[in-house]
Amino acid sequence: MAAEVPASGGNDALLTVIGAVVVAAIGGAVTLLSIVLTNRSKTAASPPSAASPGFQGGDLAFRDYVVGELAVNKRRLDDHDETIDLQDRRLDLIERHKDHEQMGWRDT
Amino acid sequence: MHAVETAEYEALLKVATTWRKVEEFAWARFLVAWAALFHATAAVILFVVPDYQLLTPATTPVFDLLPPAAWAFLFLGGAVSLAALWAEPSHWFGFVVLMGVLLIGGAWLTTFGLAVVRDGSSPLGLVVWFFLYVPFLVGINKRASGKR
């Protein structure tokens, strides 16, 4: 069954057309504005800040950031290995000294 | 070289891998395809569904302007042009498609807005149309500028 729908005046049709044009105009303006802003940010890119650590770039800078973080991690681990080596050498020295001074200390 | 096994390293690799997948996904094409599918579905519904089901207090102004069959053709045109933009990105064609799609969506958005103001209808339809067309606008813009 057809639902009873009140007929709208020609005014509503006109308002619909105006609404459609306004929406399209706003969409077009937003598009043009985004194009202008994108082009402006391309020509005047700000240099990366060395003072503030952490990721602050766009999508493409992310890979560089990850590679940098990995390099830092690797360097930290290398330093850590060197510390362990140093400790091992010191321990060896102490053990050898102890072997001379106090025979059989290892059995106690 | 030695094996690097830290929680930080693994977490970083996980983030990088996930980001790479997100970055490489063809978002612009996906949004344009989604918009094309919506317009094609709307066209089919307007062609197939009887008028008495389409005509509601909210849709009266838009059907006063053009009959359902004409709207069906407009939605179909939108779907076809979106499919063309999906296949081949172009600045000027993208802008034309955007304007066409926004004119269609704007008319329906306005008619649902009028229903809310005049008849006290549910504003949910208005919200749905608005949030539907915002990602369409983003996708069309990105695709028009040649993004994947």
Q: Residue B61, Cβ neighbours under 10 Å: how many?
A: 28
* CB contact B109 to A (< 8 Å): yes
The helix/strand/coil state of B4 is coil
| Closest chain A residue to B139, measured at CA | A31
| Closest chain A residue to B99, measured at CA | A24
> Model confidence over B48-107: pLDDT tens digits?
999 999 988 888 889 989 999 999 999 999 999 999 999 998 888 999 999 999 999 999
* CB contact B105 to A (< 8 Å): yes
Chains A, B: CB pairs < 8 Å: 107
Give the whole-angstrom CA distance, residue A45 versus residue A36.
14
Nearest to B61 among A2, A15, A30 (CB): A15
Mean pLDDT of B28-40: 95
| Closest chain A residue to B140, measured at CA | A31
Q: Please give the mean pLDDT across all residues of chain A.
A: 76
ipTM above 0.85, yes or no: no
Output the CA–CA distances (angstroms, integers) from residue B13 to A61, A69, B5, B6, in the order listed. Answer: 16, 10, 11, 11
Q: Please give the mean pLDDT across all residues of chain B.
A: 88
Give A1-63 as a DSSP string. -----PPPPHHHHHHHHHHHHHHHHHHHHHHHHHHHHHHHHHHTPPPPPSSS-S--S-HHHHH
Contact criterion met (CB < 8 Å) for B60 and A5: yes
Q: Residue B11, Cβ neighbours under 10 Å: how many?
A: 10
pLDDT at B22: 82
Nearest to A31 among B64, B114, B141 (CB): B141
* CB contact B64 to A (< 8 Å): yes
| Closest chain A residue to B115, measured at CA | A12
Nearest to B99 among A3, A24, A73 (CB): A24
Q: Residue A4: pLDDT above 60?
A: no
pLDDT at A48: 57
> Model confidence over B100-145: pLDDT tens digits?
999 999 999 999 999 898 888 888 988 999 999 999 999 999 898 8
Contacts of A106 (CB under 8 A, 6+ apart): A99
Which DSSP state fits A90? H
Give B126-145 as a DSSP string. HHHHHHHHHHHHHHHHHHHT
